[in-house]
Structure 1
């Protein structure tokens, strides 16, 4: 492991967690978005991550939920069909919020590793100057 591998790995983690936070923000913002039954529902995004070539992590892709979503009875909604149904996304807020907490904690941990590594490298440089 090279001298700056810790920073590179932590940086890749920061980027991946930031992307995860962004996708969760979009999902949470659209959790109650409904459409008419003849349109696709909002498709929740889920990250696919993998280990990067030199260590660390990278976003390998983004999977999306089923566009069919789920039918919800809401006869008072102006988008409701003749039977009173609208199409809602196939996701729930509690799952998205749980993932949000995990993504935030991962981001915070990577930020702390970055800070600690910078301090360690700075101390090493100070020792070398003495």
Structure 2
């Protein structure tokens, strides 16, 4: 815990955005995978955040990752009888991952991460400037 709570708030937000970036990367990396069954297909994941009080800081809150859950989206059934993963009827099952929506989320998460890095840098500069007052 920092003596300046802004570092704790921005740090918790950085950590949350990092989890968000990792889940988006996982979804994009598995967008083209297929399974032999609907249950065997990759399930896209998404983090859930919540406000969390900072320890030792009355009335101050940061961000906490509550959980990372698979989305309740059924797999997409495609008829490809020549595919090595096809079932007996010739179907494969692909995850319902929209790469465009994932890229929009990726840009949003990246901007959120960058904004919190800027908050940390500004707070550090202000703290250092405060230490030089009166010199």
Which residue in the other structure is 2:48 paired with?
A: 48
Question: 2:93 aligned with 1:87, yes or no?
Answer: yes
What is the TM-score with the length of structure 2 in the denominator?
Answer: 0.86
CA distance in 2, matches of 1:120, 1:127: 11
Which residue in the other structure is 2:57 paired with?
A: none
Q: Is the 8 A contact 2:75 2:93 kept in 1?
A: yes
Q: Is the 8 A contact 1:37 1:71 kept in 2?
A: no
The farther-off stretch of 98-107 and 38-47 is 38-47
**Residue segments in structure 2 that go unaligned for 5+ positions in a row:** 55-60
The CA RMSD over aligned residues, in Å, is: 1.8
Aligned residues: 128
**Residue segments in structure 1 that go unaligned for 5+ positions in a row:** none
Which residue in the other structure is 1:69 paired with?
A: 75
- 1:37 CA drift (Å): 2.3
CA distance in 1, matches of 2:116, 2:37: 43
Q: Is the 8 A contact 2:46 2:70 kept in 1?
A: yes
Q: Is the 8 A contact 1:33 1:42 kept in 2?
A: yes
- 1:45 CA drift (Å): 1.0
Which residue in the other structure is 2:19 paired with?
A: 19
